[in-house]
Amino acid sequence: MTERLYYSDSHLTNFNARVVAVADDAQGRPAVTLNRTAFYPTGGGQPSDIGTLGAARVVECVDLGADGVRHVIEGDVPAIGAEVAGSIDWPRRLDHLQQHTAQHILSQSLIELFNAETRGFRIMERASEIDVALTDPSDERIERAVDLANRIVWEDRSIRVRHVTTEQAAALPLRKEPTRAGTLRVIEIEGFDLNACGGTHARRTGEVGIIAVSRWERAKGMTRIEFVAGGRALTDYRHANRTARDVAAIFSVARDESPASVARLLEENKTLLRRTRALEEIAARVEAEEIINADSVRHHDGSRIVTPIFDGRDAESLKRLALALAAHPRTVAILGSRDGDHSRLAFARSVDAGGDMGALMREACAMLDGRGGGRPDTAQGGGRHTEKLEAAIEAATRRLLNAPDAHAPARAPAECNRK
């Protein structure tokens, strides 16, 4: 059994211990077990400590339950029975104890205000998350919880560790029902929160500094709240402030005036997009007229089959031209475009023309090693084989010409190198 020093003192960073076991973990990395340790192993949503053990670097700690804590190391492996000095990476430990203590405070705040129990907790690389049984979340409600949590932080209340039996725990007003029996480690925030927990925590709430919620969302029937505390809150503020100032500089306005400037720009952009689309529709109709009047258009049983291939035309532009062509009576557009190393296709037909565009598209895309489909009147797709684009267009055209109502021989497809 390993004596877990972090249970009684989360601020202990240096200790001496004896190696009781040496073995490789499942990934083949060397790992040691000690008779006592201050290294916190991954668990309860909190990542493990890192640091040094003698001349070796501790890169991960794993909880083995009754078998102790496994310290995965890089470097010289100490022998069984050797006495080693352990040192915890304090900045990482401080960060984790700030986040974990903040979670206790924020979770109890949500209980007091909305009776919303925390169901999950995770400390991630840049932020932390709690999943809360809050069925009707809003910015106003969550900010109320944040305000209460920070009041508890700034009151600098004491935090102490208590070790109690299962029977004693049953008589305590714990925030959450314990998940195991036996001796329990209870974290008590003076006059505010009492909860069984094995993680590392601050000595006083003031050590947390500040708690800020960066975002929230509904997830899996609960409310997922992302928050930062302590040093992370300062880092997050600096990043957000720098971003806000950079945006404000673009508009040559004060930082707090930038949202209004962005809103105006977005509205102007929407107006320009609407005008651009209208002009593109007009241009597509003009281009369609030019293509239909060209000598290269195929005519079959009173219908036109238009098969140009373009260079550098995007999918939306190709589709717009296909629809403009299909607006003409008895017209079928079988269009292709080479866009870099990708082939694009857009098929469309007028209401009085024959052919299943969706079926033709699927067959053409199979030749291009791509995907596509659509309805009988319009379809889109593409693929990787630009060298097979002409063959795919020709195959779709022949399939159309060889339909039951088609008897005329096919001619080679015309190609347009239009931008």
| Model confidence pLDDT, tens digit, residues 87-139 | 999 999 999 999 999 999 999 999 999 999 999 999 999 999 999 999 999 99
Q: Which of 30, 16, 127 is nearest to 78 (CA)?
A: 30
Out of 3.30.2350.10, 3.40.50.300, 3.40.50.280, 3.10.310.40, the CATH code matching 280-401 is 3.10.310.40
The residue-averaged pLDDT of 165-192 equals 88
Give the start-to-end residue ranges of the domains of the chain: 3-88, 94-238, 280-401
Q: Given this chain, do its domains 3-88 and 280-401 carry the same CATH topology?
A: no
Q: Of residues 209 and 2, which shows the higher confidence score?
A: 209
pLDDT band for position 81 (cuts 50, 70, 90): very high
287-342 pLDDT tens trace: 999 988 875 677 766 788 999 999 999 999 999 999 999 999 999 999 999 988 89
**What's the predicted TM-score (pTM) here?**
0.72
Please name the fold of domain 94-238. Threonyl-tRNA Synthetase; Chain A, domain 2 (3.30.980)
Buried b (16+ CB within 10 A) or exposed e, 28-61: eebbbbbebbbbbbeebbbbbbbbbbbebebebb
- CA 114/CA 202 separation, integer angstroms: 25
Residue 406, pLDDT > 80, answer no
**Dihedral class, residue 374 (left if φ above 0, else alpha if ψ from -120 to 50, else beta):** left
Which CATH architecture does the domain made up of 3-88 adopt?
Beta Barrel (2.40)
pLDDT band for position 404 (cuts 50, 70, 90): low
